[in-house]
């Protein structure tokens, strides 16, 4: 049975998240499964690399789809895009081995969180950025972010409703770009993420950037392993899944063009 790796881009605003929900809830998985059902000759075995929450965007989400078809990968990509709504697209389709599983085989993921730190609102940025009006101190933000790199128990940054065996994760990089009073981008790369983890990290780092907490607070939060001790959950609109990396792929996977 052919197994395809699908690389996806979507605007999360119109979705109740990735995973198929109850009747009436629009999800990315639901739209893809509906499109695949029109193309596949039989049942589809489908798996996403991760479950983005409602309102979260993606530039390089990955799914695996196994089903009977005579289509080659490029024809499949075009066929899916012809059936999908305008807020989700297949950027690339690749034929993989029968055992490929988008979730199980993933080695690393990278998210980007986008902050608009201008005093005035920016209507064009509003769908993609969290607007924090007070000036943020980037030196303090970096000092706090550096304490997150490595293998830690991230229980203090785990959202409610997360059913996982362990909250220990490894962050390979936490990088900051931009300037105070303008756009600020926070890139977080790791081997896996807990529910709401990146948004909870950002909420706590903003407290540090505003001068309400010291960078050392991050170390205290990691030791506390208590979600109630950490900062607020940053809005979903600012979060983008940049890419998912697999064995035999470059350390920073290239984004495919539609």
For residue 257, the model assigns a pLDDT of 45
Pick from 99, 89, 25: which is nearest to 61 by CA? 89
For residue 162, is it left (φ>0), alpha (ψ between -120 and 50) or beta? beta
Instruction: Tell me whether strands 168-178 and 150-153 are parallel, antiparallel or unpaired.
Output: antiparallel
- Taking the chain, what is the end-to-end CA distance rounded to the nearest angstrom? 26
Instruction: Note if 11 is an active site residue.
Output: no
- For the packed helices 217-224 and 197-209, what is the interaxial angle rounded to 10 degrees? 150
3-class secondary structure, 33:
helix
Q: Give the pLDDT of residue 41.
A: 83
* Tokens at 200, concatenated: 């909870």
- pLDDT tens-digit readout, 206-258: 999 999 999 999 999 999 999 999 999 999 999 999 999 999 887 776 655 44
pLDDT at residue 254, rounded to an integer: 60
The pLDDT of residue 79 is 97
Active-site residue (options: 11, 53, 101, 153): 53
Give residue-wise pLDDT tens across range 39-61: 998 899 999 999 999 999 999 99
Low-confidence ranges of the chain (pLDDT < 70): 21-22, 162, 253-258
Q: Is the Cα torsion angle 129, 155, 166, 20 positive or negative in sign? A: negative
């Amino acid at each position: 049975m052919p197994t395809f790796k699908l690389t996806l881009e979507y605007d999360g605003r119109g979705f109740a998240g990735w995973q198929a929900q109850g009747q009436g809830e629009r999800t990315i998985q639901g739209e893809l499964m509906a499109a695949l059902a029109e193309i596949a000759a039989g049942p589809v075995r489908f798996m996403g690399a991760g479950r983005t929450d409602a309102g979260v965007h993606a530039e390089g989400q990955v799914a695996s789809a196994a089903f009977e078809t005579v289509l080659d990968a490029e024809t499949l990509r075009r066929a899916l895009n012809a059936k999908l709504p305008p807020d989700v697209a297949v950027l690339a389709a690749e034929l993989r081995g029968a055992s490929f599983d988008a979730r199980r085989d993933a080695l690393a993921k990278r998210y980007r969180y986008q902050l608009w730190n201008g005093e005035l609102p920016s209507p064009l940025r509003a769908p993609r950025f969290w607007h924090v009006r007070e000036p943020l101190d980037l030196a303090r933000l970096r000092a706090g972010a550096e304490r997150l790199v490595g293998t830690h128990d991230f229980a203090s940054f785990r959202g409610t409703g997360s059913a996982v065996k362990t909250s220990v994760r490894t962050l390979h990089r936490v990088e900051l770009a931009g300037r105070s009073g303008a756009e600020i981008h926070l890139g977080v790369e790791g081997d896996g993420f807990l529910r709401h983890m990146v948004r909870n990290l950002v909420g706590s780092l903003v407290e540090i950037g505003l001068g309400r907490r010291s960078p050392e607070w991050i170390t205290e939060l990691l030791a506390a392993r208590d979600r109630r001790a950490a900062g607020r959950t940053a809005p979903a609109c600012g979060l983008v899944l940049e890419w998912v990396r697999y064995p035999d792929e470059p350390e920073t996977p290239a984004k495919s063009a539609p």
